Chain A
């Protein structure tokens, strides 16, 4: 008799997904899938809208990382108004960068402190009533307070640069809508209403100490959990350094061999393909030179730290060296290192924001430039969860006639499915009874990627974890809710 287990929805991730597990006669996991069950259709319904609306409209995909969509679309629309990378003014580029690094900072803080920390602090088999953010608040109050303040800092940076914390409006074709005054900057440096940017840097150092020690104490589990080889892809700067706003596309294999060598992202269509499967709305991107079976990449913090040559801020660079030294390998394929990598990126973001807030270019007054109109634009950015691509085609009447979006979580689709399969096989195969900690182990593997399965604006409601056990005739044998 075969059995089917459904985990729906997967909890402590952004959006709505479900996992199905098919067990054979000896309870061996025969098939494991992560299904993305929401369909949004942005690529279709944006058609017919004027191109200048794209940065404002498309960011509605998401309430957690709208800035990433706002800026990827803005970069694409820059090209449509004839402005190439590096041609927007210094104030425009630095305002966008400040907004973007503030966004990554707050998104990573949300994920680490609110969603991932309960598993790390309490263990996968802890009582679910304790293994949540309220448990963190009760038992690790100082950490929780810092988490809240760090996220607030990032959100306030977004508000100051984008106009609103969610769904801002300031990136416009060819530039930016506003600059940042010295008075506005003092809000982020005087430590009165939000922690100063210097405090954010110091707190991130403390949290990275905690994470390093955590890995040392739990090395066997952390290193062995969901460890599998994969390719990795991200943007890199001109010298191969980490650059989250702009750069060339680079991919490496699981041992560090370059398999996509710093290509211009405007040529992505020559290098990236997407396959589809009938059981999920999420596509499966791959490198065309390798093919769908082996050409899929992981993206996001783990991959960015694997792909880059270094990080262009001193403290984060030191932490990168510490991370690599601890791992003992140049390319880390161990899934739980995503969390540590995310914290290294937070430190980098804090340092970079500190630099920008002290940069007089933010008070520049030439906000927008224009060039010769084009019919097509492509923008790519490193969003919190990985490489994000927006591609628009525009008619002579300024209407968007084509749109292609490859979002970060899509790149990780194959990797997340493999993670589910690996963990399910290890935790569940052969076990006589399926327990809650076993299911949480599967969710922990998915959470490492911080997937953004949908946007935060869909209907609010109860999201219980529902597990149903079916026999091979489809008859419901057992049901559990939490």
Chain B
């Protein structure tokens, strides 16, 4: 039986707001919830297809530039891309690989959090911290309770 929800934070906490996905996971997993599992990675890899195929729902959390609001939620549809390097594997690509290899297509969404500064320093910018708090508030809000049964 598949597990309910995986929250997968993406990013490098050594590059300021690039670590928003990591910080999101760190903060969110402080609230115990049996039906949600958390994981963090610097970047997506092919092995993540194996990871996500075991879940009904997957929320990928990543920093983004240029958002109009502090965070944005959008669905991720499987889409193959011919190009591959270990430096860049897109979210739709990972979902497509899960579908191809494991005949599994979890419902995937991207929670993009607005970042402002991506220099080589630990810690979030003030604007990044503010956006993170807004995204966490949204994540735990009752309107999202269909993701978080029993929490």
A residues with CB within 8 A of B: 11-14, 60, 63-64, 110, 114-115, 128-130, 132-134, 137-138, 141, 144-145, 148-149, 151-152, 155, 166, 456-464, 482
In whole Å, how far is A140's beta carbon from the nearest beta carbon of chain B? 11
Partner of B87, one of A133, A137, A458: A458
Q: How far is the CA of A464 from the CA of B87 in the complex (A)?
A: 12
Contact of A460 among B83, B87, B97 (CB under 8 A): B87
Asked if A129 contacts B86 (CB within 8 A), the reply is no
Q: Nearest chain-B residue to A11 (Cβ)?
A: B85
Name 20 interchain pairs, CB-CB below 8 A, sorted by A: A11-B83, A12-B85, A13-B85, A14-B86, A14-B87, A63-B43, A114-B86, A128-B82, A133-B46, A134-B96, A134-B97, A141-B101, A148-B50, A151-B47, A152-B47, A456-B42, A457-B12, A463-B85, A463-B87, A463-B88
A137: chain B residues within 8 A (beta carbon):
97, 100-101
CA distance in complex: A13, B93 (Å): 19
Contacts of B118 in A (CB 8 A): 459
Question: Which A-B residue pairs are the 8 nearest by beta carbons?
Answer: A129-B82, A133-B84, A132-B82, A460-B88, A132-B84, A134-B80, A137-B100, A152-B47
A128 nearest CB neighbor, chain B only: B82
Given A148-B49, A463-B83, 13 other A-B residues pairs in contact with their CB atoms under 8 A? A11-B85, A12-B85, A14-B87, A60-B14, A114-B84, A128-B82, A134-B100, A138-B100, A148-B47, A458-B87, A461-B88, A464-B83, A482-B83
Is B101's CB under 8 angstroms from A134's CB?
no
Q: Which residues of B contact A129 (CB under 8 A)?
A: 82
CA distance A64 to B47 in the complex (A): 14
- With both beta carbons as reference points, the residue of chain A lying nearest to B49 in the complex is identified as A148
Name the residue of chain B whose CB is nearest to the CB of A131.
B82
Partner of B101, one of A144, A457, A462: A144
Residues of A within 8 A of B46 (CB): 114, 133, 148
Cross-chain contact A110 with B84 (CB below 8 angstroms): no
| Residues in B19-55 with C-beta less than 8 Å from chain A | 42-43, 46-47, 49-50
- In the bound complex, residues from chain B placing their C-beta under 8 Å from that of A141 are 100-101
Q: Which residue from chain B places its CB closest to the CB of A152 in the assembled complex?
A: B47
A130 CA to B81 CA, complexed, in Å: 10
Q: How many A-B residue pairs have CB under 8 A?
A: 73
Closest Cβ–Cβ distance, residue B71 to chain A (whole Å)? 20
Who on chain B is nearest to A464 by CB?
Answer: B83
In whole angstroms, what is the CA distance A225 to B21 when docked? 45
CA distance A149 to B49 in the complex (A): 11
Give the contact-size bracket for chain B: 20 to 34
Q: Residue on A with the closest CB to B82?
A: A129
Identity of the chain A residue whose Cβ is nearest the Cβ of B50 in the assembled complex? A148
Q: Nearest Cβ distance between residue A444 and chain B, in whole angstroms?
A: 15
Q: How far is the CA of A337 from the CA of B68 in the complex (A)?
A: 52
- In whole angstroms, how far apart are the Cα atoms of A11 and B93 in the complex? 17
Docked pose: A68 CA to B86 CA in angstroms: 18
B10 (CB) vs chain A CBs: closest residue: A460
CA A114 – CA B15 in complex, angstroms? 27
The reply to whether A166 and B86 contact each other, CB–CB distance below 8 Å, is: no
State in angstroms the CA–CA spacing of A13 and B15 once bound together: 23
**What is the CA–CA distance of A213 and B126 in the complex, to the nearest angstrom?**
59
Inter-chain CA distance A138–B97, complex, in Å, is 9
Closest-by-CB residue of B relative to A10 is: B85
Complex: chain B residue closest to A130, CB-CB: B82
Tell me the nearest residue of chain B to A459, going by C-beta.
B118
| Chain A: minimal CB distance from B72 (Å) | 19
Decide yes or no: A155 and B47 within 8 Å by CB, A134-B97, A137-B97, A457-B12 being known contacts: yes
Chain B residues with Cβ below 8 Å from A482 are 83
Which residues from chain A contact B42 at a C-beta distance below 8 Å?
A: 63, 166, 456-457
Expressed in whole angstroms, the Cα–Cα distance for A456 and B86 within the complex equals 7
- Closest chain-A Cβ to B46's Cβ sits at a distance in Å of 6
Give the residue name and chain of the B residue nearest to A135 (CB). Answer: B82
Nearest to A151 among chain B residues (CB) is: B47
Smallest beta-carbon distance B69→chain A, Å: 23
Q: Distance in Å from the Cβ of A379 to the closest Cβ of chain B?
A: 24
CB distance from B82 to the nearest CB of A (A): 4
Using CB atoms, name the residue of chain A closest to B44. Answer: A460
Contact present for B84 and A134 (CB under 8 Å):
yes
Residues from chain B with a CB closer than 8 A to the CB of A13 are: 85
Distance (whole angstroms) from the CB of B33 to the closest CB of chain A: 22
List the A residue with the shortest CB-CB distance to B43.
Answer: A460
A169 → chain B closest CB, angstroms? 14
A110 / chain B contacts, CB cutoff of 8 Å: 86
The answer for the CA separation of A63 and B12 in the assembled complex, in Å, is 11
Min C-beta distance of A80 to chain B, whole Å? 25
CB contacts (< 8 Å) of B81 on chain A: these are 134
Most chain B CB within 10 A, of A64, A141, A457, A482, is at A457
Residues of A within 8 A of B50 (CB): 148-149, 152
In angstroms, Cα B83 to Cα A129, docked, is 8
Provide the residues of chain A in CB contact with B84, threshold 8 Å: 12, 114, 132-134
Measured between alpha carbons, how far is A152 from B50 in the docked complex, in Å? 10
Residues of B within 8 A of A63 (CB): 42-43, 86
Check A132 against B88 for contact (C-beta < 8 Å).
no
CB-CB contacts of B98-123 with A at 8 A, as 1s and 0s? 00110000000000000000100000
Residues of A within 8 A of B97 (CB): 134, 137
Which residues from chain A contact B93 at a C-beta distance below 8 Å? 134
Within 8 Å CB of A133, what residues of B? Answer: 46, 84
A83 to B101, CA, bound (A): 48
